[in-house]
Structure 1
Amino acid sequence: MVSPGADLAATVAAYDPRADRALIEAAYDFAAAAHAKQTRENGDPYITHPLAVARILAGYRLDTASILTALLHDTVEDTSVTLAELERRFGADVARLVDGVTKLGRIELQSEHTKQAENFRKLVLAMSEDIRVLLVKLADRLHNMRTLHFVEKPEKRRRVARETSDIYAPLAERIGMDAIKTELEVRAFREIEPDAYQTIVARLAFLRGQGADLIEEIRADMLRVLAADGVEHAEVSGREKSPVSIWLKMKEKKVEFEQLSDIMAFRVLVPDKATCYAALGSVHSHYRVVPGRFKDYISTPKKNGYQSLHTGVTVPARRNAKIEVQIRTPEMHEVADFGVAAHWIYKQGDTAAKDRRRYPWVKDLLEILDNTGNEAQSFMENTKLALHQDQVFCFTPKGELIALPRGATPVDFAYQVHSAVGDACVGAKINGQIKPLRQPLDNGDQVEIITARGGTPNPAWERFVVTGKARARIRRVVLAKQRAETQETGRGAIARAFRQEGIEATSERVERAAKLLKQGGVEELYLTVGAGHISARDVVYAAEPELRGPPRATDTLALTRARGKPGQTVSVPPRRIGDAADGISGLVAGMPVAFAGCCHPIPGDRIVGIVATGKGVTIHRAECATLTQFASTPERFLDVDWDQAAAPNGQHVARLALVATEEGPALSGITIAIGKHGARLSRLKVKHRASDFVEVEVDVEVTDTRHLSNVVAALRACPGVEEVERAKG
């Protein structure tokens, strides 16, 4: 009976006659002995796992070193074997590859506050130093996902599935290994969303039963069409799209399974590039084209080397099914399926040079690696790996991993480390170099925050930070500083006003004035005077009424503030805090307040107050585009919020922007939907009318953002309505 090691060696030798069969058998025997006392979750000997990983790589026709690495990849991590021993028995190349795979295996997605790594930069370096490390790790993860159902603990299965979905599937896609990417996605999806997976699989099985030969019928018709137009030697194959791609499409389009029309994809293989375009013309001339679905990845390949023509058409067979069609050559198909493994072959002489000419991006990567050597900073400047579309992973100088939203800056990083670090931040080093504080961070950056004793946040930071934690802290500290400065201004103004009258501003006089002016205390009185809402002379007259004489010229401004200039029309009458309709916290008592007509804030929105001397405060939504006009005067910003305890369940106006394709039915449905959900339509305006769509602006009266969300959901379900969103001012 042939041993598993000998059988694997024969498989490798079948596609690589130069392979060292004896060394492969020796590696299998060595790994089997090292793992002899270990078993898998299902009770099988542990050696079955590295053997399965090696067979996956053999299916991609990888070199002997990769096969040896697959067999030995867990020996250093899980047994007493050392790297020195591996190097002595199997060579430095294999030992280096095993070390790289071991480092990758140590990276795990942990809770937000305990994300540690030996460090993430080493992970990226290990993967990029030699692409075979990543290929082995992907095969390792693929086999683990195939046997995930043997893991008893549900929380561990979900963690592994989430890690696979978040890290390893995107990595497989990045290097063009579509088959591995798809299988990883599907197996992770089945664990993360089991109900959705079973539902989609059941629906696919039902449709398959209704039209068992539909794919074959379309395939035969497409072959007939291509042959009629003289496209020779074409091969056509069809398949259903994967459950996870169907699920993502349902979420993207916000539709149910039954509303999806393109759940089938067909691939056309033709001999050369010119015939690809001939086949495209044939398909387009015989079937109705779906607009917006054509993409030419042959003239403009993807970064991972993928080339193909993509289009969408409607075929007449059975219910006018919409299908996706991919047209490519066999060479392009090999790259699409195998990705980097299709041409990352470790050869010598002319063959290697030929491969690098055929795949210039491989040459670019090799040059980066050759020029970088062991200089981590240089490598990080030249090659970045985006594991997450919406996150970046950076490091403190001590190696702690910090996860931030994409677009985050060193200021966001500083506040993520600690609020005190953010407050005292005065500069930052990124990968050892001084960089501006507004510099966006990239994956793998090492960030060192430079602090100064007694440092305070700069108000300008709020314009470029992206994390809520940083923005809230900056606003709070800046507003506290501004409040203190405003109070000091008021204190000084009151003291001067008393001196001008020849008396001292004693605490008794100031307290008496604060009470008579209905202020919350002396500090609040200082703040109100400093903000210009009460004159310092009014404080003197409140404390000592006998000093009040004929109206002074200085009182004119106060009267103008309260009553408006003669002949002036006030479009939105200011309301004083304490009115039942306000419900805003963070305002000084007696301060006039109005709601901005540009963005229409309602309870539940994040809001900002803008102070205008003599006019009080205008409340805007935090997302209002009008706020950019005040960027140069951050001292006018006031930190306010909704006082839910004081705010009544009154009606507030929110403005919505809609796009509809059918004006009549859409407008009718809008009014009905708003009324059904307890809101009132107070204004409707057609902003733009075209032949195939109409833009509408409506004002609805609602109680809060939750009420508005229900109204928006109802509007999006109206026939003819394509888009609904809040107007941003």
Structure 2
Amino acid sequence: MQVANGYPEPVLKLRDLLNTYLDPEKVAVVLRAFDVGARAHEGQTRMSGEPYILHPVAVAQILASMRMDHESITAAILHDTLEDTPLSKDELVNGFGPAIAELVDGVTKLDKMKFRTRSEADAESFRKLMLAMSRDLRVIFIKLADRLHNMRTLGGLARDSRRRIARETLDIYAPIADRLGMNNMKLELEDLGFENLYPWRYRTIEEHLDTMTGHRQEIVENIKDALRVRMNDAGVPCRIGGRQKTPYSIYKKMLTKDLSFSEVTDFYAFRIITHTESHCYVALGVVHNLYPPKPGRFKDYIALPKANGYQSLHTILNSPYGLPIEIQIRTEEMDIMALKGAAAHWQYKTHQPGSDGSAQVRAREWLMQLVDVQRHAGDSLEFLDSAKSDLFPDEIFVFTPKGKIIDLRRNATALDFAYAIHTDVGNHTDTALVDNEDVPLSTRLVTGQTVRIITHPDAHPRPEWLEFVVTARARTSIRAYLKSLQDEDTVALGLRLLEKALNARGSSLEALPAERWDQFLKENHLAEQEDVFRDLAQGTTLANIVASKLAPDASVVGARVEPEEALAIAGSEGSALSFGACCLPVPGDRIMAYVSADKGLVVHRANCANVREFRKHPDRCIDVTWAPITEGKFPVSVKILTNNAPGVLANISTSIAEAGSNIEKVVMIESNPETATMQFNLSVENRDHMARVLRRLRRNSQVIRVSRI
């Protein structure tokens, strides 16, 4: 390692760069961090053979080029010490303060992430990444810089490792950089990922680009000269640059739009950077006067910024050279935000362009939404799917009645809009008005519409809402509400089962002393009584066993002699109770219930073929009866023998509909030239309703025989 003035050459370069924007005492902290890190990593080397400490220094150099604050730079130099050296967090706190120690600790946790598969462990790591970002965005800046340097130095790894890391970069890190508005970081991560994942494709596109550059340089200079002249004439101060398409962006466009290489690259791109927002719009008028614009190809991201804070005017022009020209127009401040995104917030002087932190505010809002999503997500895989769907936004912009802009994913519905306003608004949405017209909640929105949501306290999420919402926030909020209902059903059923078991022993829930409950919960490592009720309803424990422990003396003293009362089933118990698929009981049938270890309480017809086997386990058999009033529709299966004639299926369907029943499924069992045997799965209200359906079918001239299965 080459050393000059006591420091290796990379550290001197880092010091010189930091001296251009940091105070000397803060640069001294960074250099002291190098001394600590170098001692901690002494003897460690990378795969290339170079001293390991040069990797953290390179990460710090990347952050310094973004003009990050000294705490981020210091943490970058120390980011591998907790993971790979004996250095402790307490030592970092004592030496550099709690802020830097927390940054190092945050990055250390992220370094343990491995995205080799889409397993739940990987999804849980992704959840931790998002939560770490929500606490301090600088954690992910350090991690992105770490990933960028690792991508730049992948050469020493085996091909399979390079491909795995490249895929991970394209799937996770480049999209995060994009979502945070860090365009330069995103572009380099994408190209390095592409180069290592598909090296032959990358080389082919690069060679084509190199060939084209020489041929087109003269045209590019002519267009830039024409733009400069027109801007000077209009009094618009600006600088003009070309914009080279990257190999990965070309490859993506070739794939997604099924274009050839020449079709993707046959246009010129220029960027006009000016002083003020008003200059941007003047410049737009100038370029439209220079070359005619393509209809429908103008986008105003200044008035309607992207979700990551990006602002610019985009337009496509028809050039005199027979090829389209893309022009991007923005201010210096907007250009800094476009290149650095949320990281621009940490620039050294607060009066510098980009220091208002608009991209950071938008990034923070996005991360807070993700925190809300993960709070309601059922598991890590669900959260990963939701978060990744929002990492690749194709956005629309709609308005509230007061004119606030709400950005949503393309194909978002009026209900997605409601949840974007607030979870409570979404959960109580009753009606949606789009441009003052009443529309279904499933209506897909388009940019520019004004949406008003009317709520009602009695309105609640329904399962069918999940079929059309597209945003993570809406999906997870609806699922959370539905799961809470299911949990209420489960707890209520478990309570009834325990009450029934206690009554059989001459006791009741009210008669149980609080001390007995506390002792039972403690012995079984349960937090509250509701946990007991859930276990009972789900079949993981049996009510008579719990009752015997809660009321051990009740079976001897004061036990009832009258017959035990059956548990009433109303059909409204939801997921806490199910009906046997083997016999499909309906209200009016004689029934019994069996407590299954994996399905909870399952209701069967008393004459079901499986009941004899169930009776071998009397402790799991429950006497149940139908409640006086039942709710909902119940499935029933019937077998119909018919004439095999044209239109017979439609004929039978009409008879079933006339009897007020719905067909859920039809299966052809067998057929011959004369007859056909079919199985119909129907929904009925009760046994009387089923009898009406069967009578109606028997009166059908095409039906030979009908019977319940």
Query: How would you bin the TM-score normalised by the shorter chain?
Result: 0.5 to 0.7
Q: Which residue of 2 aligns with 1:531?
A: 638
Q: Which deviations, in whole Å up to 9, do the C-alpha atoms of 1:539-585 show, x marking residues without a partner?
A: xxxxxxxxxxxxxxxxxxx66x84769xx999xxxxxxxxxxxxx99
Moved over 6 A (4+): 352-356, 364-369, 399-402, 405-408, 433-440, 443-449, 451-456
Please state how far the C-alpha of 1:283 moved relative to its aligned partner: 0.9
C-alpha RMSD of the superposition: 5.0
Query: 1: CA distance between counterparts of 2:331 and 2:340?
Result: 14
Alignment match of 1:266 (pick from 243, 261, 270): 270
Question: In the alignment, is the contact (CA less than 8 A) between 1:107 and 1:117 conserved in 2?
Answer: no
Query: 2: CA distance between counterparts of 1:352 and 1:247?
Result: 40
Q: Which residue of 2 aligns with 1:590?
A: 671
Q: Which deviations, in whole Å up to 9, do the C-alpha atoms of 1:639-691 show, x marking residues without a partner?
A: xxxxxxxxxxxxxxxxxxxxxxxxxxxxxxxxxxxxxxxxxxxxxxxxxxxxx
Question: In the alignment, is the contact (CA less than 8 A) between 2:80 and 2:108 conserved in 1?
Answer: yes
Q: Which residue of 1 aligns with 2:696?
A: none
Question: In the alignment, is the contact (CA less than 8 A) between 1:174 and 1:304 conserved in 2?
Answer: yes
CA spacing shift, 1:35–1:198, aligned 2, 3 Å: same
Query: 1: CA distance between counterparts of 2:353 and 2:304?
Result: 21
Unaligned runs of at least 5 residues, structure 2: 390-422, 428-459, 491-533, 540-577, 590-635, 652-664, 683-692, 694-709
Q: Which deviations, in whole Å up to 9, do the C-alpha atoms of 1:245-288 show, x marking residues without a partner?
A: 11111112112112335553210011211111111111112213
Q: Which residue of 1 aligns with 2:525?
A: none
Q: Which residue of 2 aligns with 1:189?
A: 194
Q: Which residue of 2 aligns with 1:288?
A: 292
Q: Which residue of 1 aligns with 2:226?
A: 221
Please state how far the C-alpha of 1:202 moved relative to its aligned partner: 1.6
Unaligned runs of at least 5 residues, structure 1: 370-378, 386-391, 409-429, 457-477, 490-528, 535-557, 571-583, 594-608, 614-632, 634-729
Q: TM-score scaled to structure 1, two decimals?
A: 0.55
CA spacing shift, 1:194–1:592, aligned 2, 3 Å: farther
CA spacing shift, 1:12–1:205, aligned 2, 3 Å: same
Alignment match of 1:250 (pick from 246, 250, 254): 254
Instruction: State whether structure 2 residue 487 is matched by structure 1 residue 481.
Output: no
Question: In the alignment, is the contact (CA less than 8 A) between 2:342 and 2:357 conserved in 1?
Answer: no
Which residue identity lines up with residue 255 of structure 2 in the other structure?
Answer: K
Question: In the alignment, is the contact (CA less than 8 A) between 1:161 and 1:191 conserved in 2?
Answer: yes
Query: 2: CA distance between counterparts of 1:406 and 1:204?
Result: 35
Q: Which residue of 2 aligns with 1:322?
A: 324
Q: TM-score scaled to structure 2, two decimals?
A: 0.56
Superposition pairs for residues 482-631 of structure 1, below 5 Å? 531-534=638-641, 562=645, 587-590=668-671
Please state how far the C-alpha of 1:211 moved relative to its aligned partner: 2.7
Question: In the alignment, is the contact (CA less than 8 A) between 1:241 and 1:264 conserved in 2?
Answer: no
Q: Which residue of 1 aligns with 2:213?
A: 208
Q: Which residue of 2 aligns with 1:309?
A: 313
Query: 2: CA distance between counterparts of 1:444 and 1:562?
Result: 49
Please state how far the C-alpha of 1:291 moved relative to its aligned partner: 2.7
Please state how far the C-alpha of 1:326 moved relative to its aligned partner: 0.3
Instruction: State whether structure 2 residue 356 is matched by structure 1 residue 338.
Output: no
Question: In the alignment, is the contact (CA less than 8 A) between 1:63 and 1:346 conserved in 2?
Answer: yes
Query: 1: CA distance between counterparts of 2:318 and 2:352?
Result: 44
Question: In the alignment, is the contact (CA less than 8 A) between 2:310 and 2:359 conserved in 1?
Answer: no
Instruction: State whether structure 2 residue 121 is matched by structure 1 residue 115.
Output: yes
Instruction: State whether structure 2 residue 170 is matched by structure 1 residue 165.
Output: yes
Query: 2: CA distance between counterparts of 1:533 and 1:484?
Result: 17
Please state how far the C-alpha of 1:133 moved relative to its aligned partner: 1.0
Query: 2: CA distance between counterparts of 1:393 and 1:39?
Result: 43
Query: 2: CA distance between counterparts of 1:610 and 1:85?
Result: 74
Please state how far the C-alpha of 1:383 moved relative to its aligned partner: 5.7
3-state SS in 2 of match to 1:171: helix
CA spacing shift, 1:93–1:368, aligned 2, 3 Å: farther
CA spacing shift, 1:231–1:211, aligned 2, 3 Å: same
Query: 2: CA distance between counterparts of 1:444 and 1:68?
Result: 38
Which residue identity lines up with residue 180 of structure 2 in the other structure?
Answer: I
3-state SS in 1 of match to 2:670: coil
Query: 2: CA distance between counterparts of 1:383 and 1:110?
Result: 26
Which residue identity lines up with residue 42 of structure 1 in the other structure?
Answer: S
Question: In the alignment, is the contact (CA less than 8 A) between 2:123 and 2:383 conserved in 1?
Answer: no
Superposition pairs for residues 704-715 of structure 1, below 5 Å? none
Which residue identity lines up with residue 340 of structure 2 in the other structure?
Answer: F
3-state SS in 2 of match to 1:289: coil
Which residue identity lines up with residue 53 of structure 2 in the other structure?
Answer: I
Alignment match of 1:297 (pick from 291, 297, 301): 301
Please state how far the C-alpha of 1:298 moved relative to its aligned partner: 0.8
Q: Which residue of 2 aligns with 1:105?
A: 111
CA spacing shift, 1:218–1:104, aligned 2, 3 Å: same
Q: Which residue of 1 aligns with 2:438?
A: none
Query: 2: CA distance between counterparts of 1:30 and 1:22?
Result: 12
Query: 2: CA distance between counterparts of 1:236 and 1:262?
Result: 20
Question: In the alignment, is the contact (CA less than 8 A) between 1:51 and 1:71 conserved in 2?
Answer: yes
Question: In the alignment, is the contact (CA less than 8 A) between 1:24 and 1:64 conserved in 2?
Answer: yes
